[in-house]
């Protein structure tokens, strides 16, 4: 098991503002929100990113998307939201642990959200 910050949050070794939790995922508030609502859906299994996923992860990846949809509904994003997955070096993601950014709570516009 890797010891990145998300693994520690999943293992309850670090505090986080938990929004919801499922069997394979944990949803927490982003500590540097880029929108009025900014939630991270963390895959409970350590994978550096989508680039490290394989066929065996297909069902879980599907479940993560469904989880994002469910969390969006729970936090009141009925008018719409944006999901972002950063993959690989060029994405300059902050933590090498697969997660989905869920953003919403305003009109997001067409620009790329980091």
Report the catalytic residues.
99
Among 5, 46, 69, 83, binds Zn ion (CB under 5 A): 46
Q: How far is the CB of 4 from Zn ion (least distance, A)?
A: 4
Q: Considering only CA atoms, which of 44, 7, 29, 112 is closest in space to residue 74?
A: 29
Query: In what helix (H) or strand (E) does residue 64 lie, and over which residues does it extend?
Result: helix 58-74
N- to C-terminal Cα distance for the chain?
Answer: 27
Span of 54-62, 71-79, 83-91, 94-102 interacting with Zn ion by CB under 5 A: 94-102
Task: Provide the binding-site residues for Zn ion, judged by CB under 5 A.
Answer: 2, 4, 6-7, 46, 97
């Amino acid at each position: 098991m890797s010891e990145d910050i998300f693994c520690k949050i999943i293992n309850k070794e670090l505090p986080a503002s938990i929004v919801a939790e499922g069997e394979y995922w944990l949803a927490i508030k982003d500590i540097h929100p880029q929108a009025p609502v900014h939630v991270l859906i963390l895959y409970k299994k350590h994978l550096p990113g989508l680039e490290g996923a394989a066929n065996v992860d297909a069902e879980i990846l599907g479940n993560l998307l469904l989880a994002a949809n469910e969390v969006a509904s729970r936090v009141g994003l009925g008018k719409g939201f944006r999901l972002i997955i950063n993959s690989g070096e060029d994405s300059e993601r902050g933590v090498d642990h697969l997660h989905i950014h869920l953003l919403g709570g305003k009109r997001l516009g067409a620009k790329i959200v980091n």
